[in-house]
Amino acid sequence: MKAIRTISRIFLGAVFIFSGFVKAVDPWGSAYKFHDYFTAFHMEWLTGLALPLGVALCLAEFMIGVGLLFGTRMRFFAWALMVFMTYFLFLTLYLAIANPVSDCGCFGDAIKMTNWETFYKNVVLMVPTLIVFFGRHRYSEPYSRKGQALVLGLGAAVLLGTSVYSYRHLPLIDFLPWKEGNRIADQVVPVPEISEIYLQYRDKESGEMVEYTSATLPWQDSVLMARLEFVDQRKEVIQEFQDAPIHDFEINDAEHNDHTADFIGNPDYQFLLIVSSVDKTSRSAFERANLIAGAAQAGGYSFIALTGSSLDRAEQFRREVGGDYDWYNVDETALKSVVRSNPGLVLLHDGVVVKKWHYNDFPDPEVLDALFLGQGD
């Protein structure tokens, strides 16, 4: 029984550390998920707390995981584990039944799970949770009090440091479809369904049942066709439809003309300045962005801005911050999945993401040319 308790403790510790860390590397992603929950439960007044609550949840999960993995203060963390798992077991059951949000976000963007899959996962995790909880008095403390404080302090420092860094720059690990190296054209376009329709006929003379496809139907044989009586048809799916990983990403101008293929499929270098909302963006970043835009255009490269705000509002904003480049409209939610920065900068080459920058890390034009653009000469 001791071995089972130890395995349960280590297993749950690893799961909670992983769950907390993959959300901590993307604090804005956690905030967006909290925002979805608040909207779904008609608690919009809490949306201003989405970011700190997201970080707090990551920290709680991570610290429970650290406590369990290192066997530190097991009575406290066993209670914390039991409360945490019980609450989320019932919450995920409700989410599975009511489906107010499509993805619970329990593993951030690292692992996508349906609400029912999440609930079943929690049912499975309740087994080792109960073992740890009811055996909490049988665990021995492997460290002194100072050692325990050091382990927990280092755990909290790692998690909070990761969150702060990822907030001020970009996620340490990018789990989004727009991560560097991805060919965006493959991510934007869905995989269509491939199917074949089979037409079933009965030969009126012989009574035999025959089946044709649209390609094999002997429609030119009038004698044979006169003997055939249509009975039914069936559809055989050869390849299921697969939705595109990147949803609702369409680059439109003021007249609602779609320019997605023009820019995403640009065989040369293509700069995308991502401004999900002009009213919430960092204005100071546009001084550097405008310098990059000027250098890119001087080198013959395309530089555009994409915003979720209206283009009328974007034009007013452009006159305030400057910048001689075109603005286009894209769904705001879709832009938040491009880069976790407002503004952020994305460099494509032949439709592949070469590099992404947070506005705190916008490069000097000379550095940009030396690293990337000069390679295309």
Which whole number is the average pLDDT over 275-288?
95
Mind listing the pLDDT tens digit for each residue in 189-206?
677 888 999 999 999 888
100-124 per-position pLDDT tens digit: 887 778 888 888 888 999 999 999 9
Q: State mean pLDDT over 17-42.
A: 91
Q: What pLDDT, on a 0 to 100 scale, did the predictor assign at position 375?
A: 52
The separation between the first and the last C-alpha atoms of the chain, rounded to the nearest angstrom, is: 67
Contacts within 8 Å (CB) and 24+ apart, 98-103: 100/37, 100/40, 100/41, 101/33, 101/36, 101/37, 101/40, 103/33
Question: In what order do the strands lie in the sheet containing 302-307?
Answer: 326-329, 302-307, 269-275, 344-349, 352-358
Domains of the chain with CATH codes:
2-168 (no CATH), 194-239 (no CATH), 260-376 (3.40.30.10)
Asked if residues 239 and 271 have their Cβ atoms less than 8 Å apart, the reply is: no
pLDDT at 377 over 70: no
DSSP 97-148: HH-SSS---TTTTTS---HHHHHHHHHHHHHHHHHHHHTGGGPPP-S-HHHH
The answer to whether 305 touches 342, Cβ cutoff 8 Å, is: no
Over range 74-79, report the average pLDDT.
94
pLDDT tens per residue, range 323-368: 899 999 999 999 999 999 999 999 999 999 999 999 999 998 888 8
Condensed to tens digits (0 to 9), the pLDDT of residues 127-182 reads: 999 999 999 888 888 888 899 999 999 999 999 999 999 999 999 999 988 999 99
DSSP 95: H
pTM of the model: 0.81
Residue-wise pLDDT for 45-69, tens only, equals 888 899 999 999 999 999 999 999 9
| CA angle (223, 229, 230) in 5-degree steps | 125
| CA-to-CA separations, 261 to 156, 195, 264, 267, 351, in angstroms, rounded | 45, 26, 5, 11, 9
Tokens 């592949």 sit at which residue? 352
Residue 243 has pLDDT above 80, yes or no: no
pLDDT at 180: 93
Sign of the Cα torsion 57, 60, 66, 68 reads negative
Q: What is the number of alpha carbons within 13 Å of residue 72 lying toward its C-beta?
A: 21
* Per-chain mean pLDDT for the chain: 90
The pLDDT-based confidence of 374 (bands split at 50, 70, 90) is: low
Q: Could you give the percent of the chain with pLDDT greater than 90? A: 65
Are the C-beta atoms of 345 and 356 separated by less than 8 Å?
yes
